[in-house]
Structure 1
Amino acid sequence: MSTIILGIESSCDDTSAAIIKDGVLLSNIVAGQAVHESYGGVVPELASRAHQQNIVPVVHEALKKAGVSKDEISAVAFTRGPGLMGSLLVGVSFAKGFARALDIPLIDVNHLKAHVLAHFIKEKDEEAEQPEFPFLCLLVSGGNSQIILVKSYDEMEVLGQTIDDAAGEAIDKCSKVMGLGYPGGPIIDKLARQGNPKAYTFNKPHIPGLDYSFSGLKTSFLYSLRDWIKEDPDFIENHKQDLAASLEATVVEILMDKLRKAAKQYKINQVAVAGGVSANTGLRNAFHEHARKYGWKIFIPKFGYTTDNAAMIAITGYFKYLNKDFCSIDLPAYSRVTL
């Protein structure tokens, strides 16, 4: 009998549902929320309201595209946290109601672990190579910058993480300072392709061990801009490509420096990247460069699996289902947690 998992993701501003059958992805539907663009960031109250509107149509579409009826589903996997509490509650409540109505198991999923396990998503008629345990994973997004030692599907250890801002958060804030809009990541990425990454130098942190810090870079960027604008009020407009390229290069260099140290320290050459910032072209290029230079075997997710999506929740749920790792219906959502 086939194992069919419905995955539900609603941790921030994307409502997503996915169907995985025997480890193979059949559908992955994502509904974004354009309502936040004019605010320069995600507004929690608006996000939770949009999830309430989107959750039923998204799940319906996921089932329809997969060619699966609700009665065939073996279990419901849902993002329990971390994330925005109002957003999480919509997905958690729906998953609980759906599972109770069909009398099927519930599987709670840690959103961060799911990003790491996105590398194990299989698509139909595709033979994608997957990491072997143990491997290192650089998890970089708007809220997280972590180096993770992945020992198995359910055993992960954080070797280093940001002590203040995450990489994606720093990029978004610098983009906002430049008046480029939200989200800043894709905008900075596009501009950086046209600029000189060595045009400007910004401060890099000196943090011991494998931890990260991006608040100093953000401050350095802000103060440098302030001084340059005093001399030339149109400085940003005239140099935005070089600014974006230099900012991106600095962030990537900070990320890769600690990742190199971790790979050397733990003698691991299987290295993956995950999270929203893994869509960044500069970071992807750095991974390919390190593969050539240091003999790394690298794993970079498809663009569709870099941002928040239910496919990563469903594949995590699939592995937990095989271990009969279910949860009770009274488990609450959580907004903050580590691996």
Structure 2
Amino acid sequence: MARDSLAGVLMSGPVRPAPHPAREWPPSFADRLAAPLPRFRDVMRLMWSVPSRAPLGDADRIPVLRTGLQPVRSTDTALTWVGHATYLVRTGGVSVLTDPVWSTRIPGVPRRLTPPGVAFGDLPAGTASVPGDYGDEEDSQPVDAVVISHNHYDHLDAPTIARLPSSTPVLVPAGLGDWFRRRRFSEVVELDWWETAEVAGLTFDFVPAQHWSRRGVRDTCRSLWGGWVITGPDGRRLYHAGDSGYGPHFAEIGRRLPGIDVAMVPIGAYAPRWFMRPVHMDPEEAVRAVADLGAARAAGMHWGTFALTSEPVLEPLTRFRAAWREAGRDPAELWDLAIGETRVLPA
């Protein structure tokens, strides 16, 4: 949609419905686009003008701290970066996975550059853990909830989803619920922007992002995209942006849902800018987004795992750190995590 239309959505009143599996959605969410999708000639220009993927010579310098999952107390709020947009969030004694991807490969891109920071079998058992579909320990419920930002393959990974028991609660954008129901998931909550659900004692707000969706050749924008604000019983508030270009929605999220303790923001897959700007932030824009959100801390993601675009593999991290310094932010508030690293919010 045009920016004035996006602003109209942002300024509409808050909605708190009772989500229901049978909700009907429009056939397309293309009216939520902030900019037109690339045309065929834009794609051809991209293919001919720049390398389609980053040089991988520095991939072995991507920081990885794969030493096992750090235990935390039930009263702690902790983030562990598994890789790409996958975080393990532990707050209020509850475990949540964001955009889980454990696969070595996803369609259309080279093999994973770095291993998942946490082995899937090492995920903490959910507080409502139940026997798995096949009765073995690995298939017991590893987490209390899963949130999905949108349906692109680097955020919605079918082989990883297949490892979760069908009883796992999943919170997804509008229009994406049937994908999970076809896979026999029984606890599926679909939300539109600014809608809210409660699972396992946590509050989940689905918030706007400047992006798009597609999984096949005929489903462009048939499901929505967005980010998640997770609020724990102690009031600790975490934001996961999913994928997003920079836009006015960040300030609106900060206004409606103030007091964000940590913002997980994408800092990679931004080159070339003429092509990626509408849908992917660069590191400098990510720092601006954190300021707009009013977030106390930033945690980077969406880099160092898959070579999606043409920027050097280490550049997102170096630019993110530099932009944070130039903004005058406290270095301790920048959670520039290694893959597999856990950081705990101070009491």
Fold match (TM-score > 0.5): no
The two structures have a TM-score, normalised by structure 2, of 0.31
TM-score, normalised via structure 1 length: 0.32
* Structure showing greater Rg: 1
Comparing both chains, which one has the higher relative contact order based on Cα–Cα distances under 8 Å and sequence gaps of 6 or more? 1
Instruction: Identify the structure with the greater helix proportion.
Output: 1
